[in-house]
Structure 1
Amino acid sequence: MMKIILLEPLGISEDTLQRLSSTLTEQGHIFKAYDSVATDTDELIQRAENADVLIIANHPLPGDVIRADQSLKLVSVAFVGIDHVDVEACKEKGVLISNTGGYCDDAVAELAIGLTLDCLRNITECDAAVQAGHGKGSLAGHELAGKTVGIVGTGAIGLRAASIFKAFGCKLIGYNRSEKTAAKALGLEYMSLLDVMANADIISVHTPLTAETKGLIGEKEIAAMKHGAIIINTARGPVIETEVLARALREGKIKAGLDVFENDPPLPANHPLIDAPNLVCTPHVGFDTIESIDRRAEMVFENVTAWMGGNQIRKML
């Protein structure tokens, strides 16, 4: 018998949670779910006490919680990235980490396209003008068709975004640690990051957050961009240096569409991007569709039951 604790809500209905967890309780395991986010580490430690398996979504799981739980064997993450989990603490204790890679590929890629279209066609400004009782004024935009799109990070989401951009009639270039056959099959031409930044009309960022990718796009990369180019980030906020981006936006050099920041909104009043011009923002909703949230819940429980049965799981560590 094992103890499985869901430390935070998954955004699914009680009926769905009951259905998914019944696969565990019917086998004699203990399952407990919390319907709120813990306020601090001490509360997390209390919730996680004696758990063999912890299920989390996108809120931090500190090392103190992992080290305090002497029974812990698996952290099942209902998210793609695991940068909010103390991986080193898991390594120390031999705790496995699984994720739900693939659950939101379409959702995030589609938002990247949406932000791109907003930046190109000034949709947010047009809406504000109409709501204020004005006409179109000087809000003529640009077409997506025929533009050169640079995909930074050609993993699953980057490839999905690339395929949609291609359907719009865009030329594809890209940067990744290793070249992917699937990307080349789409007609994507690999080049250095600086060359992507310099040649693309639109740059769409899809890299995970690691020690190598933090600050990947900084002063040199932003300076290389064409005047009037657009950068879209639906990946992780710290991949782009915020101060550098904010300065380029205020100078009118580029436009940006962002779904991610160093920390999720609400942003502090003194944040560099507050009131920045040439910017369209969403509050980290790329992953958040009805379909994707249901999908990730299914996957996170599948990982737990598969692991218990000694079967293959989507293992990150």
Structure 2
Amino acid sequence: MRLAIVEPIGIDKAKCHELAETILKNKIEVSYYNSPADYKEKIKRSQGAQAVMIANNPYKDNILSQCPELKMISVAFTGVDHVGMEYCRKNKIVVSNCSGYANEAVSELVIGMCISLYRNIAASNEAVRNGKTNENFLGSELAGKKFGVIGAGAIGLKTAALAKAFGCEVYCYRRHLSGKSDYMFVDMDTILKTCDIISLHTPLNEETRGLIDVNKIKLMKKNAILINTARGPVVDAHALAQALKEHRIAGAGIDVFDTEPPLAKDEPLLNVPNVILTPHIGFNTREAIEKRAVTAFTNVAKWLEGMPQNVM
């Protein structure tokens, strides 16, 4: 049997071999392709493999249909919207993800974006480098702000905990409530109307695509900031850009887009005021990447044992 790691997963070849030896115990041959690939190259790398490991780049039906021996996909990522899940279900291909590996990484980036926006860190850096003073950089504090989490799963609740530690009044929304919680759960419109900071943590599916559209943005307060570290298409980027240009909301921190960076020059958020853009780095810390790799290999090991875990 063969496992093909068809694209980079953030670890070097030595670490890959170490994990293969310690976790897979040489029960399956491993091929690691530590370079990007288009869909034709992914097909070439995947053919003949019973299991593949991928990161967050598309692995859809055009690839899956060319790999008849494939039985398992270990997704070294949280979301699986880039995988042809319907094809996998129909063809009984097990898909496991690495949910939880980036809880700390993403939630810390959210707080970092909030502080950067509130304290004008990027603009202040430019001011110092251009011989200017602090005259126009009156900031705000997180303490006492109403902080809304839309999508209160594992990452959302970790973000809520950090916000609470900074002295925020935390509001949460999720579609299905279960068990007790330390936070106030309200409907989504209440969060949009009430909160000074709104942080998105929903998965991407047909119900959440375009969730934050022009009408939802209209509900937000003029002093509100929106943080999106979830998935780009959850937000209507054109509507958000227009709201920022017209100063109908105060700012935004965006780590995810409709496509992966590099962005096209006509990306609507590239030239609007008071927005921080980062190139999908929420998950990208040394600690998270190593945790992810361990989980991805363990998912393969459990599948080999007939006890698949983290199945989507």
TM-score bin, normalised by smaller chain: over 0.9
Aligned residue-pair number: 311
| Equivalent pair of 2:24/2:300 in contact (CA under 8 Å) | no
Residue ranges of structure 2 left out of the alignment (5+ in a row): none
Aligned to 2:230: 235
Please give the alpha-carbon distance, in whole angstroms, between the structure 2 residues aligned to 1:296 and 1:231: 27
User: In structure 2, the residue corresponding to 1:288 is in which secondary structure?
Assistant: coil
Aligned to 1:29: 28
| Equivalent pair of 2:103/2:154 in contact (CA under 8 Å) | yes
* Range with greater deviation from structure 2 (23-32 or 146-155): 23-32
Aligned to 2:75: 77
Please give the alpha-carbon distance, in whole angstroms, between the structure 2 residues aligned to 1:44 and 1:103: 25
Aligned to 2:2: 3
Amino acid paired to 2:64: I
User: In structure 2, the residue corresponding to 1:84 is in which secondary structure?
Assistant: coil
1:15-94 equivalences under 5 Å are 15-23=14-22, 26-39=25-38, 41-94=39-92
1:106-145 equivalences under 5 Å are 106-145=104-143
Please give the alpha-carbon distance, in whole angstroms, between the structure 1 residues aligned to 2:76 and 2:193: 36
Over the aligned positions, Cα root-mean-square deviation in angstroms equals 1.3
Aligned to 2:239: 244
Please give the alpha-carbon distance, in whole angstroms, between the structure 2 residues aligned to 1:103 and 1:189: 26
Question: Is 2:248 the partner of 1:256?
Answer: no
Distance 1:27 1:18, change over 3 A: closer
| Equivalent pair of 2:23/2:298 in contact (CA under 8 Å) | no
Question: Is 2:150 the partner of 1:152?
Answer: yes
Question: Is 2:299 the partner of 1:303?
Answer: yes
Give the Å deviation of 1:250.
Answer: 0.3
User: In structure 1, the residue corresponding to 2:191 is in which secondary structure?
Assistant: helix
User: In structure 2, the residue corresponding to 1:51 is in which secondary structure?
Assistant: coil
List, as ranges, runs of 4+ consecutive aligned residues in structure 1 with deviation greater than 4 Å.
Answer: 23-26
Aligned to 1:283: 279
Give the Å deviation of 1:271.
Answer: 1.4
Distance 1:72 1:23, change over 3 A: farther
Amino acid paired to 1:245: L
Aligned to 2:93: 95
Q: Structure 1-normalised TM-score?
A: 0.95
Residue ranges of structure 1 left out of the alignment (5+ in a row): none
* Range with greater deviation from structure 2 (102-111 or 88-97): 88-97
Aligned to 1:220: 215
Question: Is 2:289 the partner of 1:293?
Answer: yes
User: In structure 1, the residue corresponding to 2:65 is in which secondary structure?
Assistant: helix
Please give the alpha-carbon distance, in whole angstroms, between the structure 2 residues aligned to 1:198 and 1:104: 29
Distance 1:180 1:112, change over 3 A: farther
Please give the alpha-carbon distance, in whole angstroms, between the structure 2 residues aligned to 1:268 and 1:222: 24
User: In structure 2, the residue corresponding to 1:151 is in which secondary structure?
Assistant: strand
Distance 1:16 1:206, change over 3 A: same
Give the Å deviation of 1:25.
Answer: 6.9
What percent of counterpart residues are identical? 41
Amino acid paired to 2:82: H
Give the Å deviation of 1:312.
Answer: 4.3
| Equivalent pair of 1:56/1:76 in contact (CA under 8 Å) | yes
Q: 1:176 aligns with which of 153, 169, 174?
A: 174
Question: Is 2:161 the partner of 1:202?
Answer: no
Please give the alpha-carbon distance, in whole angstroms, between the structure 2 residues aligned to 1:161 and 1:301: 27
Please give the alpha-carbon distance, in whole angstroms, between the structure 1 residues aligned to 2:32 and 2:220: 47
